């Protein structure tokens, strides 16, 4: 699979999760928060919409697994558990259900913020990968099967050496053949 397709797929997975979470929150209501020493408000189904909320929560659960992979370890929420001084990095898609608890670890807005940032970065990476794959260097990479993993860290020496050998070796063979053919050596 090409890099651009991978980034597009991850982008779509995160976007599907965000849409499912939005639909779920539309049938829920926010508590006032700050009750019983809670910092963030929790979410509960609106009266009479419990069955619909259960169905929509299952959709969010299904989308959250793929979104968690799409977010990876790069997009996270720094969460500080009560009674500790250290923060832990948590994947917002994998831990979205905390907003339903009596003491949410973070607000729903934080989930949306991290996911929206990830959507922007994944879209940018997909566009860059498409441009690279459409270039001559990208086509050569596809033919040789050696994709460039870190395009920004490369200083171009390896690419230059490859192109020189690609042109130089056939030219040297041609010169050697001509020397042999005409007996110049």
User: Per-residue pLDDT tens for 102-152?
Assistant: 888 899 999 999 999 999 999 999 999 999 888 887 777 777 776 655 444
Asked, for residue 144, whether it belongs to a domain, the answer is no
68-98: burial string, b at 16+ Cβ within 10 Å, e else: bebbeeebbbeeeeeeeeeeeebbbbebbeb
- Answer yes or no: do 63 and 129 share one domain: yes
- Residue 147 included in any domain: no
Residue in the structure block whose two tokens are 């994944």: 122
Q: Do 127 and 160 belong to one domain?
A: no
Per the structure, the complete domain to which residue 183 belongs is given by 155-185
Strand segments, DSSP code E, in the chain are 28-30, 43-45, 77-79, 88-90
Question: How far is residue 109's CA from residue 53's CA, in Å, rounded to a whole number?
Answer: 19
Give the number of residues written for the chain: 185
- How much of the chain exceeds pLDDT 90, in percent? 56
pTM of the model: 0.73
Residue 140 forms part of a structural domain:
no
What's residue 168's pLDDT? Answer: 74
- Between 92 and 84, the more confident residue is 92
């Amino acid at each position: 699979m090409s890099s651009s397709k991978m980034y597009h797929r991850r982008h779509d997975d995160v976007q599907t999760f965000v849409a499912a979470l939005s639909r779920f929150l539309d049938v829920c209501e926010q508590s006032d928060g700050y009750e019983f020493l809670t910092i963030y408000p929790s979410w509960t189904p609106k009266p009479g919409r419990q069955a619909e909320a259960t169905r929509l929560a299952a959709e969010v659960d299904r989308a959250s697994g793929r979104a968690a992979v799409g977010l990876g370890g790069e997009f996270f929420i720094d969460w500080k558990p009560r009674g500790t001084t250290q923060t832990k990095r948590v994947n917002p898609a994998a831990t979205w259900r905390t907003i339903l608890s009596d003491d949410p670890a973070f607000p729903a807005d934080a989930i949306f913020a991290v996911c929206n940032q990830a959507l922007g970065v994944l879209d940018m990476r997909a566009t860059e990968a498409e441009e690279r794959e459409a270039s001559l260097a990208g086509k050569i990479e596809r033919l040789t099967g050696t994709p460039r993993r870190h395009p920004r860290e490369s200083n171009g020496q390896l690419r230059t050496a490859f192109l020189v050998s690609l042109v130089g070796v056939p030219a040297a063979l041609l010169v050697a053949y001509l020397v042999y053919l005409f007996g110049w050596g």
